[in-house]
Chains A and B, each alone.
Chain A
């Protein structure tokens, strides 16, 4: 790409330099280690090493019953824990064949989209900070804090929410919460405009992002990219559109796509998703029906607490479910994916009919995106690595599991 003088002049001996970036580099968004072979400023070869945050979630899941696995999924992608919880619950519900009440579907869609906003806010904040725009970082955290406060009011935790349950939710939302959320969605588009004022046309931002890390639509599909990273290349693929979970078929929204597949387009896709998510949340709040929040599936869901305290049958059932897990899980294999903010999160279960999964495999978007990183980086400058890592939006907790 750049032919410096030393390359052409045989009198000056040059040698490729191997540089170790990470695993404790602040701009690698966690503990990602990249070994770079450099020719001057140009990257000849980039090798990612993952596994520094490996906690054995998949193995742990084999020793816990289906209910107990939920808090483990919080810690996959800790930035958008709510989406992971939802993805897990959706998968298990499909395994158990549980029909959800309508209100639950609406609430799940709302919190799922809130989680998407939280994730994209943190992504924008850190991505901009990596490239050098510090103000955006602080502004994004201001709004993120408001959503985290809403999460805390809803379920008692800000980050590791553990809010959904298999076949329902931990607790119902109250009217005041929905009103406050609606007020937030009134104000939020104005905030997004502010971020865009700061960086959208900023010449430094454009020079750092436009035409860098380009990946074509075909290649993006071949590399298995998903989510905004794929849509930035112009592929209108969104799991929310192609499979049915939540109430995404009942609200109006569209899939945001880019054109060129460079860092700027991936940035634009995520910025557009702010608007789509806000619109989905508003429509959901307007349409949300009254009703129960737990599915009528007594074999898989814990009985209501007041029944446990008064009725012997329910108490026995409560004991069995907690100590042994659901005893009537169907046998077989199942893969279910959902659209989390980072891409396609899939859960694969092998069930042997006991209360614990025989095997649980997590298909995490970050892991796939990291594998495509060498393709994005090679031939570019060292500084562009940071921008590329930011643009594929990885979290190593999910990548290493």
Chain B
């Protein structure tokens, strides 16, 4: 052992170097945030709670009940029940998502050929029973209304949710007879 090494060993040089580093960090601003008091905004496009898009023209859901999202869902947490309505149109009676089983892969969004389901960036939700996490059609539409009323709705609609090919925000075209009346 050389003298140099001996000095290093006796005077705990490497440990002092480490302590100096931690001491330096003591005077730097903290990188942590105090969660419930301070909150970090999720980044744009963050995958969180689902919402069903409400068509501003009809006031109903955009969903037509084709079932592609349910077919694509890897955890099989989407359940759709449809029936035959007036003039043989398919009506979505129930659209349910078991949020506790969802893995937030956003494959349902990719699968939807109507742009009718989206993931919002809302991630802080909790409850006391499993039933609270069965999101029905009404609750999912409510999510959409709530999100669009907030300050981020517009940005998300433009950047992520509006399908590129069709004019998504405008109401569905009026039916032939109605147009004839006008």
Contact = CB atoms under 8 A, between A and B. Distances in A.
Interface of A: 64, 67-72, 74, 135, 139, 142, 145, 149, 152-153, 155-157, 160, 162, 194, 197-203, 302, 305-310, 315, 318-319, 322-323
B62 to A, nearest CB: 12
Interface residues of B, number: 36
Given A142-B31, A302-B110, A310-B165, A322 B103 contact: no
Q: 9 tightest CB-CB pairs across the interface, nearest first? A: A306-B165, A201-B14, A309-B165, A156-B47, A71-B105, A68-B74, A306-B164, A162-B105, A156-B45
Nearest to A72: B74
B40 to A, nearest CB: 9
A322 B166 contact: no
A322 B69 CA distance: 9
10 contacts: A67-B72, A74-B105, A160-B105, A162-B106, A197-B21, A200-B14, A302-B110, A305-B165, A309-B113, A319-B66
B128 interface: no
B104 A198 contact: no
A322 B15 contact: no
B83 interface: no
A315 B113 CA distance: 8
B15 A203 contact: yes
Contacts of A200: 14
Contacts of A203: 9, 14-15
B163 A202 contact: no
B104 A157 contact: yes
Contacts of B80: none
Interface centre among B44, B68, B163, B165, by most chain A C-beta atoms within 10 angstroms, is B165
A359 B71 CA distance: 21
Interface centre among A64, A198, A200, A322, by most chain B C-beta atoms within 10 angstroms, is A322
Contacts of B58: none
B166 A309 contact: yes
B106 A68 contact: no
Given A68-B74, A202-B14, A323 B68 contact: yes
A302 B15 CA distance: 57
B113 A306 contact: no
Interface centre among B45, B105, B119, by most chain A C-beta atoms within 10 angstroms, is B105
Nearest to B18: A198
A70 B18 CA distance: 43
A160 B113 CA distance: 25
Interface centre among A71, A149, A156, by most chain B C-beta atoms within 10 angstroms, is A156
B106 A322 contact: no
Given A70-B105, A202-B14, A152 B68 contact: no
B42 A152 contact: yes
Contact of B18 (A152, A202, A308): A202
